[in-house]
A and B are shown apart, each in its own frame.
Chain A
């Protein structure tokens, strides 16, 4: 018999949401999307893509579409901490002028410094106003690492010269859900690289509430939007891995779904940039690809509306969505090789297979299977 329990659960969640007041009575998201020239068919096509990304069956598409329309019930507060604004940039670049960016523009204008026209005093008032007005309802997304403790003054913001740490703690208190967008806010990011001069740290280290990490430097636009839609649909935290990353996006290694994986399995490697292997799209492991250690869905979602991603361009993964990026992932054009790197699975990664690739295809397969088996044994208790 078909089990409809999840479908029913999500439907009733959306019904509940629809009873909440809208951010703006005049304009609804569906109206906005229509006004911008998107047909219903295009919108449903977008919702279908989102549904599959969230690993839901196609029959859930109408629910995802409805969730997108319900987004205007959940205001979004976006904070900038010590960062480069790259995550917002990634978001601003989601499709052409896309449905995702429309939804974000619509709900996030309460407090988003980069795209907000208001400045200084007014911006600070907007933030306070949003927190007060939508107490307990708003979604908090934080971009950037947070200089912590005695170094907190390295990030001083706003008319009242408050520290970033203070603002983040304050905004998190009444948030319905908290997302750390990007590697900086998830794990500290580049500014936390040795010697970490500003003592920058992850959002989860300065606040006492649960934080869902959406790392990546930058994360793809679809992971940011998907995270939001997931919360609207479920109203609860998604299934998370050991680093609090949503499994629907960070469940697999880059290596697992890499378009050059076949080359790896066949032992075909780029030995040096510009060689014949590079021209033929061989595996980039030996020129420093960190894909075997990095959990993310870049190979499937890609960047800039699916245009490309680093491995497609011939660079190799830089491991930007892992904790301790950059320290754990340097040196850039060299494989991590035999260095024991502490991943979630005790450094197993797929190194065991990569190191022995020269021994011939048969052994590789055997070791590959062994490694897979080992990983699934370790993985189980965490599920």
Chain B
């Protein structure tokens, strides 16, 4: 048995069990926790808007949006302007985008024997951080989304700045990541043609093919995605069969004795979440093609995540066009929160997959709060008979280095996993 402590954002401990020189089972343990759910109990409901982004400095914005939506879900007929909806969606998109850049340049490249490219990671993520700050005042840890809308009153000037940040980020993608016109990249339907292009992404994809890593990282080929907005669809995908009729009721959390993290399953089965899952549910042609050729391997997983950068940038441009600044940013809820006793939930797509918040309010105070994070889905630690998604992907590999690559292709983050 070999032990390895994996560096992710925060820490998880992987215990590799070998049998006949192959990985037979991997124990995943989380050794730290901050217990935020207990801190929320007994606090005024809106305080969650300040506390929850601080669950995670990496994807805190997704936690803010999940919080505000869960709280709004407690109301019977809450009105929200289109403008507020669009602004929230934009800032969440920007957070996803900057996360993907950092994952690719800081985490993925070194695993392929390349030098970590700090500046390539920071330059575009700084641009996206600025774009969020235009609305939210700061990033990380803004609390600009409130029950009933958003607090910011943006002007045309802000929109011009925003368009500039997006244009700069697209330019960065075209100059570095995939050296073709973004529109061509997005309409590309054949994963193999990507291998002929120049850029940091095709380089790695070629390397995967050359080093015969194509078959690695396969798991259940079972995907799920609950967060719905103008771009992402809700649904699950089994191999390629997609159904959109799924309910959060069937999502269950269970404790693991040896770890601070909890397992998450849907109808008693483990599902993969994240960009690959979203692309499968959305039936994105390029990713569907990669999946058809290479299955749910690291190739498809890496491609799906990087491809999402361009998709979300393009989609954000469209969203900005739909923005009507004359609409109200905030519409006062008909009922004061102190008179509210109800429960609500929300699901949003964070960088690493579906994030679920559930809240129970009694007279405006939080009675109970539950957070289910994306990494909990992917890293649920199962038993030998019923392995978790990332566990299954690592079993059968013969060396720890490849296992590490497979593990990190899920873009795991333990900061919020143990919240």
Chain A residues near B (Cβ < 8 Å): 36, 80, 82-90, 92-98, 101-102, 105, 113-121, 123-124, 154-159, 161, 164, 189-191, 193-198, 200, 217-218, 272-274, 278-279, 281, 302-305, 307-315, 318, 320, 326, 329-333
With A113-B7, A273-B329 known as contacts, the answer to whether A307 contacts B134 (CB < 8 A) is yes
Interface size on B, residues (CB 8 A): 74
Decide yes or no whether B49 CB sits under 8 A from chain A: yes
Cα A116 to Cα B106 in complex, Å, equals 8
Interface flags for B318-352 (1: CB within 8 Å of A; 0: not) read 00000000001111100000000000000000000
| Inter-chain contacts of B56 with A (CB < 8 A) | 84-86
Cα A115 to Cα B6 in complex, Å, equals 14
Cα A157 to Cα B6 in complex, Å, equals 10
Decide yes or no whether B31 CB sits under 8 A from chain A: yes
The one of B122, B127, B137 that contacts A308, using a Cβ cutoff of 8 Å: B137
Decide yes or no whether B44 CB sits under 8 A from chain A: yes
| Inter-chain contacts of A97 with B (CB < 8 A) | 119, 122-123, 126
Decide yes or no whether B363 CB sits under 8 A from chain A: no
Interface flags for B6-43 (1: CB within 8 Å of A; 0: not) read 11011101000000000000000001111110110011
Are B138 and A156 in contact, CB atoms less than 8 angstroms apart?
Answer: no
- Inter-chain pairs besides A80-B10, A159-B4, A307-B134, 13 sampled, C-beta below 8 Å: A85-B57, A93-B125, A115-B116, A159-B5, A274-B148, A274-B329, A304-B129, A308-B138, A309-B138, A313-B137, A326-B47, A329-B50, A331-B44
Closest to B260 in A: A154
| Inter-chain contacts of A308 with B (CB < 8 A) | 133-134, 136-138
Are B57 and A83 in contact, CB atoms less than 8 angstroms apart?
Answer: yes
Are B60 and A333 in contact, CB atoms less than 8 angstroms apart?
Answer: no
With A84-B55, A154-B32, A217-B141 known as contacts, the answer to whether A273 contacts B122 (CB < 8 A) is no
B202 to chain A, nearest CB (A): 22
Quick one: which of A115, A189, A200 has the most chain B CB within 10 A? A115
B87 to chain A, nearest CB (A): 11
Are B130 and A305 in contact, CB atoms less than 8 angstroms apart?
Answer: yes
The one of B129, B139, B332, B415 that contacts A84, using a Cβ cutoff of 8 Å: B415
| Inter-chain contacts of B144 with A (CB < 8 A) | 310, 313-315
Are B57 and A89 in contact, CB atoms less than 8 angstroms apart?
Answer: yes
Decide yes or no whether B288 CB sits under 8 A from chain A: no
| Inter-chain contacts of A117 with B (CB < 8 A) | 106-107, 110, 116
The secondary-structure label for the interface of chain B is mixed
Q: Show 11 residue pairs from A and B whose CB-CB distance is below 8 angstroms, ordered by the A residue.
A: A36-B119, A97-B119, A97-B122, A120-B6, A120-B7, A154-B260, A190-B36, A191-B39, A278-B330, A279-B153, A315-B144
A364 to chain B, nearest CB (A): 26
The one of A93, A155, A310 that contacts B129, using a Cβ cutoff of 8 Å: A93
Decide yes or no whether B285 CB sits under 8 A from chain A: no
With A303-B138, A313-B137 known as contacts, the answer to whether A119 contacts B7 (CB < 8 A) is yes
Cα A97 to Cα B35 in complex, Å, equals 35
The one of A36, A98, A119, A330 that contacts B6, using a Cβ cutoff of 8 Å: A119
Decide yes or no whether B140 CB sits under 8 A from chain A: yes
Cα A206 to Cα B332 in complex, Å, equals 46
A324 to chain B, nearest CB (A): 13
Closest to B127 in A: A96
Cα A175 to Cα B368 in complex, Å, equals 43
Are A193 and B39 in contact, CB atoms less than 8 angstroms apart?
Answer: yes
B49 to chain A, nearest CB (A): 6
Decide yes or no whether B58 CB sits under 8 A from chain A: yes
Are A330 and B39 in contact, CB atoms less than 8 angstroms apart?
Answer: no
| Residues in B347-370 with C-beta less than 8 Å from chain A | none
A312 to chain B, nearest CB (A): 6
| Inter-chain contacts of A113 with B (CB < 8 A) | 7, 11
Are B149 and A86 in contact, CB atoms less than 8 angstroms apart?
Answer: no
Cα A303 to Cα B130 in complex, Å, equals 8
Closest to A298 in B: B138
Are B140 and A89 in contact, CB atoms less than 8 angstroms apart?
Answer: yes
Closest to B132 in A: A304
Closest to A319 in B: B50
Are B7 and A123 in contact, CB atoms less than 8 angstroms apart?
Answer: yes
| Residues in B107-164 with C-beta less than 8 Å from chain A | 107, 110, 116, 118-119, 121-123, 125-127, 129-130, 132-144, 146, 148-149, 151-153
With A114-B9, A304-B139 known as contacts, the answer to whether A119 contacts B404 (CB < 8 A) is yes
Cα A326 to Cα B43 in complex, Å, equals 10
With A86-B54, A278-B153 known as contacts, the answer to whether A191 contacts B141 (CB < 8 A) is no
Are A157 and B134 in contact, CB atoms less than 8 angstroms apart?
Answer: no
| Residues in B374-395 with C-beta less than 8 Å from chain A | none
A219 to chain B, nearest CB (A): 11
Decide yes or no whether B51 CB sits under 8 A from chain A: yes
With A86-B60, A115-B118, A273-B146 known as contacts, the answer to whether A96 contacts B123 (CB < 8 A) is yes
| Inter-chain contacts of B294 with A (CB < 8 A) | none
A199 to chain B, nearest CB (A): 10
Decide yes or no whether B220 CB sits under 8 A from chain A: no
Are A157 and B126 in contact, CB atoms less than 8 angstroms apart?
Answer: no
| Inter-chain contacts of B42 with A (CB < 8 A) | 194
| Inter-chain contacts of B266 with A (CB < 8 A) | none
